């Protein structure tokens, strides 16, 4: 479900953001480092710093609005 939504976000925001999907089963240390306890969780980074966190399913439009608000 989230993969399709993130693909839509990527199409809309391709020039401004890079979408990276991490399988937390394969990278549990990364999930722990970023305190990911529920899925889906999106962590938004700007210049290597976490600037926002989205937990739960949102529509592509909601995610785009949230990302645009950070610009």
Contact assessment for residue 63 and residue 5, using Cβ atoms and an 8 Å cutoff: yes
Alpha carbons 15 and 24: distance in angstroms, whole number: 26
Give residue limits of the domains in the chain: 2-18+32-70
The helix/strand/coil state of 37 is coil
Whole-prediction pTM value? 0.89
For residue 71, name the pLDDT band (cuts at 50, 70, 90): confident
Chain segment 11-51, per-residue pLDDT in tens: 999 999 999 999 999 999 999 999 999 999 999 999 999 99
Question: What is the pairing mode between strands 41-46 and 49-55?
Answer: antiparallel
CA distance linking residue 59 with residue 19, whole number of Å: 15
């Amino acid at each position: 479900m989230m993969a399709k939504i993130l693909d839509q976000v990527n199409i809309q925001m391709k020039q401004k953001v890079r979408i990276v999907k991490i399988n937390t089963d394969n990278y549990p240390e990364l999930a722990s480092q970023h305190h990911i306890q529920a899925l889906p969780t999106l962590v938004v980074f700007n210049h290597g710093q976490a600037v926002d966190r989205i937990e739960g399913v949102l529509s592509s439009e909601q995610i785009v609005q949230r990302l645009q608000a950070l610009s």
